[in-house]
Chains A and B, each alone.
Chain A
C-alpha cells in the first residue's frame, strides 16, 4: 500500500515536471507551423532576416528571398547553403534593379536576377530594357536562363536572344525557339548549334536593330551552325 502511494506520488511529481516541457514542445511546434524559417538554426535565420531587412531598405521585393529560403528548407539543404543562396538572390535582384530601373516589374526583376546569377552581365540587360522599354522582358530572360542552363554557351545565348529581341520577336517566338532548341538538344545536336539554327527560322517582326548589345558579344566560332 505504501509502495503504491509512493508510485502515485512519483507519477504526479513526474507529470508536474513534464508539463512545462510539454508546453514548450507544443509552443515550438506551433511556432514552426506559423513561421517556417523557425526550422533554421538561429545563426542562419539571423543572417537571412538581415538580408530581408537589406532588401526592404533597398526597395527590393522580399518575396523571392523568402521563397528561396523556404525552397532550401523544403529540400533539406543545410542552413549555411540556404544563406548563401538567399544572399545570391539578394545581390542579383539588386543588380537587376540597377540595370532595369525602377519601372521593372517584379517578374522582370526575378527573371533578370536569374539571368545575372547565370553570368549574364547586368549592363546587357539594361541595354535590352532600353531597346524596347514598353515590352516585358520576362519571357526572353526566362528562355535565356533556360538555354544557358541547358548548356548553350553564355555569349551565344545572350547574343542570339538580344538580336531576336531587337528584331521585335514576341513572347511566342521565344517560347517556340525554346521548344525547338530543347527538341534538338534531346536529338543530339550541340546546344549552341541548335540555338543558332532555330533562331534563323524566326522572321524579323520589327525595325532592324538600332545598336549592338553593350558588350558586343559574338557567337563562339566553334558553335557555327551547320550549312
Chain B
C-alpha cells in the first residue's frame, strides 16, 4: 500500500478509507497441494498532507480453524514539497502467511527522496528490513528507485529494488532451485549462530545443517493501474536477477492482475490471480494464487487524493469570450485530467466545475459584468492557481489570482 509512488503524492485534505473484503482464496506452491480458504480482510487507511497510517489484515478460514493471514501496519510521513522534491520516511510491520508452516513477520523502515510533478515522479530510496523467525540473520539492506507517470486514466509505475542480506541457508532450502546445496561442503554443519525455527523445522535440525550465505538479488517490477468509470484494473509483472542460489526458476518472472468492478458507490466485486515470487529474505517460496470476492468500502471523510502541484503548463489554452449580455464563455484545453474548477469574486469564491466537452476541452458559461474580476483555477482538486494567459497578482495567502478585465 505504501510502496507505490503515485500514492506517495501528498494530499490536500484528510482522507479516511475503510474497506472489508470477503471471498475465496486459493494458493499453491511447488510440491504442495493448493490451499483453499475463505478470507475476510478488513483495512483502514488515514492520510493527510503529511502523514499516512494504515492497517490491514486477513482472517483465513481453512477447514474449521480461523488463522491470521497476511497483515500489515504502516506509517508514512513526508516533508513539504520544495522545488518539486520532498523527503519521505516509511515504517512497516507485516506478516506474510502462506500456510501454517510457512509464515513470517518483518519490520521495515525506508527513507526516500521523491521528485514529483503533477503527472509523474521519480524516487530514490534506501532502507532496512528485519525479518523475524526466518533464515536471514542480518538486517536486509534495501535500495530502491522508481519512476511513475499518469497517462490519461492509467498510472504506470516502474521500480528497481535491490536486496542484500546474510541468511542462514539449509542444505535443503525451499527458496533455492531444486533444493540445491547452498552451503559449500566446508561450511556445512558449521552453524555460526543459534537460529530460531525455519519454516516449521526445529531449531536443532537447522543448526545442524546450516551455514551463513551472502545473498544479493534485484527485482525490476512494473505496474499499471487503470480506472475507468466502474472498473479498476491493476496489472503487475516483474523480473528477478540474482544467482541461482538466491533465485529459484519460478521466481525469475512473475505476473498478477486484479480487477474490481464497482457495483455501487460502496460495493465492488473483486477478482484476481497470478504468481508471486519467493521471498528469500523471509524464507517463503513462490506461490500461485487466485481470489474472488466482494469488497465493501466506506469513506467517512470524502476521498481526496490529489496532487500537490498543478503546473499551469498543463493548461494548453484558456480563453474568455463574450456569450451574451453579462455572460462570458470560458473555454480551456487541459488534457489527461478528471476535473477542472474555477472560482472567483463572481462566484463569491465558491468552486464551479467546468463541463467536459471533449477529450481535453472544458467549458463553462459564467455571468461576468464589465469590470475587473479575480479568478482561480484548480485541476483534479489540486492547488488553486492563476490561469495562464491573464495578468496575475498576489492573493495575500501565499498564492496568486488571475485578473480578468471585462470591457463594457
The chain A residues found within 8 Å of chain B, CB to CB, are 36, 63, 67-68, 70-75, 77, 81, 84-85, 88-89, 106-107, 110-111, 114, 117-118, 138-139, 142-143, 145-146, 149-150, 171, 175, 178
B397 within 8 A of A: yes
- A177 vs chain B, min Cβ distance (A): 11
A70–B348 touching, CB < 8 Å: yes
Question: Which residues of chain A come closer than 8 Å to B397, judged between CB atoms?
Answer: 71-72, 75, 77, 81, 85
Within the complex, the shortest CB–CB distance from B389 to chain A, in Å, comes to 8
Q: A142-B391, A146-B391 are in contact. Are A67 and B396 (CB under 8 A)?
A: no
Q: Which of A71, A110, A111, A138 contacts B395 (CB 8 A)?
A: A71
Task: Name the CB-closest residue of A to B370.
Answer: A107
Are A149 and B394 neighbours in the complex by a CB distance under 8 Å? yes
Report the minimum CB–CB distance from A34 to chain B (whole Å): 12
- Taking CB atoms, residues of chain A closer than 8 Å to B384 are 75
A142-B396 in contact (CB<8A): no
Query: CB within 8 A of B371: which of A73, A107, A149?
Result: A107
Report whether A143 and B391 are in contact in the complex, using a CB–CB cutoff of 8 Å.
yes
Query: Hey, which chain A residues are within 8 Å of B400, CB to CB?
Result: 149
List the 6 closest A-B pairs by CB distance, nearest first: A146-B391, A85-B396, A74-B349, A70-B349, A145-B393, A67-B345
Q: How far is the CA of A182 from the CA of B188 in the complex (A)?
A: 73
Task: Write the residues of chain B forming the contact surface with A, with a CB cutoff of 8 angstroms.
Answer: 343, 345, 348-351, 371-372, 374, 384, 391-397, 399-401, 403, 405
Contact B349 A178 (CB under 8 A): no
Chain A neighbourhood of B401, CB < 8 A? 71
Selected A-B contacts with CB under 8 Å, 20 pairs: A67-B349, A71-B374, A73-B349, A74-B343, A74-B350, A75-B349, A81-B397, A85-B396, A107-B371, A118-B394, A138-B372, A138-B405, A142-B391, A143-B391, A145-B393, A146-B393, A146-B403, A149-B392, A149-B394, A171-B405
Q: Which of B351, B393, B405 contacts A149 (CB 8 A)?
A: B393
Assuming the A-B contacts A74-B343, A110-B372, A142-B372, are A68 and B393 also in contact, with contact meaning beta carbons closer than 8 angstroms in the complex?
no
CA of A196 to CA of B391, assembled, Å: 18
Residues of A close to B350: CB separation below 8 A: 74
Report the minimum CB–CB distance from B252 to chain A (whole Å): 49
CA of A178 to CA of B402 in the docked complex: distance in angstroms? 13
Q: Nearest Cβ in chain A — how far from B80, in angstroms?
A: 16
Task: Return chain B residues, CB-CB under 8 Å to A143.
Answer: 391
